[in-house]
Amino acid sequence: MPNISALINPENTADLFEKVALLISDARRKVVATVNLTMVHTYFEIGRMIVEEEQQGKERAAYGKAVLKELSVQLSREFGKGFSVENLDRMRFFYKTYSLTNSSTALTNSEEKEEGGKQETPSRDFMLSWSHYIRLMRIENPAERRFYELECAQNNWSLKELQRQFDSALYERLALSRDKEQVKELAEKGLQLQRPQDVVKDPYVLEFLGLKEEAVYSESILEHRIIDELQQFLLELGKGFTFVGRQVRFSFDDKHFRVDLVFYHRFLRCFVLLDLKIGEVSHQDLGQMQMYVNYYDRFVKTDDENPTIGIILCKEKNNALVEITLPKENSQIFASKYQTFLPSKEELKAVLNETMED
């Protein structure tokens, strides 16, 4: 009888192994994700029960602290770590924070249950890990908090990336270029990419490049640092960007030109050209970018792709100069400032508040 094991070539099972391994790995990820979401929902419910119990006490502050301490002892004895007074207080705060975000749902449930005399607790669809929500709870502005929650879920941000985007004041930077209705939409839907303007930030924050604010550097050094930190730069650009090339050359009439950085946007289905300027943007810079964009529109993009976007990333800009140089109905050329340090959220919020009041 032939030896079956000797007839089996490991190379023949390699493809099968890869498929099975991928299936198992995917299943494990789903199990972890399911467990995490179940835990978040459980903590929300624990928070609700604690709040409802507190409301029955006459001296609420002292009563609540005593309840948490006793509850912590009993839960820790039964289930082990994870139920300290501090964690139980987080769950309490978690419920109070996120039950308020569903105020419209709560009102509806209250109206529906008015006849029965019992108000139903509003349901909430959670999308992130408990660690994410611990960080999100510290954001006081509900609209800003909801924006970061949606962006985390849509872009699969790690906790580290969430912290970086918050520290770089992403919400304020996006809100500054939008009217009141569009700012409201940020909180309700997250960042929606429908127009060229939607992919442009002002300013861009490039603190991860390690360029000190007072250091002297060239456009070439700036470009090299961006390429070295391309993954972080793509995250700062936003969702949908794919890298095409650097110093991409094109020629016509025996003259040669190079675009510093070329990207393609998957959702808007168009090329995005970036030109780097370490000083103030000039009308010549804007004219040059217009020529780059025109070339790509006429000779590179296909008929089923959308018009090319050009972004000049500059250290300084004069808004009046940019406005008078570009066409009135411009939707393709943009000049955005960059800064090599994290911005002050307080300053950006102040500017945003002034803008919203105008």
CATH code at position 211: 3.40.1350.10
What pLDDT shows up at residue 106? 38
CA 109 to chain centre: 32
Residue 314 in any domain: the answer is yes
Residue 121 in any domain: the answer is no
Q: Are residues 25 and 133 in the same domain?
A: no
Q: What's the full length of the chain, in residues?
A: 358
Residue 310 in any domain: the answer is yes
What pLDDT shows up at residue 103? 42
Integer Rg of the chain from CA:
27
Q: Are residues 214 and 260 in the same domain?
A: yes
Q: Are residues 83 and 32 in the same domain?
A: yes
What pLDDT shows up at residue 213? 63
Can you give the residue range of the structural domain that contains 187?
A: 127-198+347-358
Letter for the amino acid at 209?
L
Q: Are residues 64 and 158 in the same domain?
A: no
What sign has the CA pseudo-torsion 127, 129, 132, 137?
positive
Residue 111 in any domain: the answer is no
92 closest CA partner among 147, 139, 128, 52: 52
Q: What is the dihedral of CA 103, 108, 114, 120, to 10 degrees?
A: -70
109 with 18: CB under 8 angstroms? no
What element of type H or E holds 239? none
Domain boundary among 106, 137, 169: 106
**144: helix, strand or coil:** helix
Q: Are residues 216 and 193 in the same domain?
A: no
293 with 309: CB under 8 angstroms? yes
Residue 258 in any domain: the answer is yes
What pLDDT shows up at residue 212? 72
CA distance linking residue 217 with residue 37, whole number of Å: 47
Q: Are residues 313 and 353 in the same domain?
A: no
- CB atoms under 10 Å from CB of 201, counted, come to 20
Residue 3 in any domain: the answer is no
Residue 30 in any domain: the answer is yes
Its pTM stands at 0.73
Q: Are residues 319 and 237 in the same domain?
A: yes
70 closest CA partner among 56, 45, 53: 53
Q: Are residues 220 and 191 in the same domain?
A: no
Q: What is the DSSP letter of 203?
A: S
Q: pLDDT tens per residue, the chain (358 residues)?
A: 555 555 556 666 777 778 888 888 888 878 877 888 899 999 999 999 988 887 775 556 566 678 888 899 999 999 988 899 999 999 999 999 998 654 433 333 334 444 444 444 445 789 899 999 999 999 999 999 999 999 999 998 999 999 999 988 899 888 877 777 777 788 788 888 888 888 888 889 888 888 876 566 789 999 999 999 999 999 999 989 999 999 999 998 888 999 999 999 999 999 999 999 998 999 999 999 999 999 999 999 999 999 999 999 999 999 999 999 998 889 999 999 998 887 777 777 776 676 566 5
Q: How many CA atoms, within 13 angstroms, populate the side-chain half-sphere of residue 78?
A: 7
Q: Are residues 187 and 223 in the same domain?
A: no
Number of domains into which the chain is organized: 3
315 with 336: CB under 8 angstroms? no
My answer on whether omega of the bond before 196 falls inside 30° of 0, hence cis, is no
Residue 112 in any domain: the answer is no
Domain boundary among 106, 135, 156: 106
Q: Are residues 357 and 295 in the same domain?
A: no
Q: Are residues 33 and 157 in the same domain?
A: no
Q: Are residues 189 and 146 in the same domain?
A: yes
